[in-house]
Amino acid sequence: MVKLNRIYTKTGDDGSTGLVRGPRRPKYDLRVEAYGTVDEANAAIGMARLHSAAQPKIDNLLSRIQNDLFDVGSDLATPGTDAPDAEYPSLRVRPIQTEALEKQIDQYNEALEPLSSFVLPGGSPLAAALHVARTVTRRAERITVELAAHEPDTSPEAIRYLNRLSDLLFVLSRVANGNGSKDVLWVPGNHGDLKKP
């Protein structure tokens, strides 16, 4: 178990941070940016959960995802591969976690009304919050893909997990909007009440 006795250590005052293994890295390092953005996505999901009490199945799912995201963060904070004689293997995202997201996407998407346009973030408070979480998750995915281009030992499963998670958050946002009946749809070229000068 993780045991945190001290909140500040002063070791990062020089602008560096420690990974699970390897030398310290600057706080602007791409790997730090990747797992930091995963943490941000987790916080956005926590905010969404302020609106999910009326839908306990979704709330429980989001709770599990928050735990998964700590696994993703740990995975990304651990560069390299384990030594063959490592006593404890590094915590890595597993395919079963990504597959669980896929099952939830399929299950929830089945009841949704087909889309006739792109969806604008909005509708219910829960849907809007899930869209924020979705966009942060997409950013985490983009940064992790860039990290993998520079550091090929980056977990491909972490990338897959983030990709499926953003898809699931989109589907759940539609569920939160009355299974899509209250979605706010994009109207191309709709300028509303704008008048010509």
* DSSP H or E run through 66: helix 56-76
Residue for token pair 């706080």? 27
Q: What is the dihedral of CA 191, 188, 114, 142, to 10 degrees?
A: -110
Q: 125-150 and 156-176 are packed helices; what angle lies between their axes, rounded to 10 degrees?
A: 170
Domains and CATH numbers, the chain: 25-78+92-185 (1.20.1200.10)
Say what the pTM is. 0.88
Give the Å distances, CA to CA, from 57 to 52, 53, 61, 174, 175. 9, 9, 6, 15, 12
184 in helix, strand or coil? Answer: strand
| Beta-carbon count within 10 A of 8 CB | 7
Burial class (CB in 10 A: 0-12, 13-18, 19+), 164: buried
pLDDT in tens, the chain (197 residues): 556 566 656 655 556 565 667 777 656 689 899 989 999 999 999 999 999 999 999 999 999 999 999 999 989 988 777 777 777 887 789 999 999 999 999 999 998 888 778 888 898 999 999 999 999 999 999 999 999 999 999 999 999 999 999 999 999 999 999 888 788 888 887 766 656 55
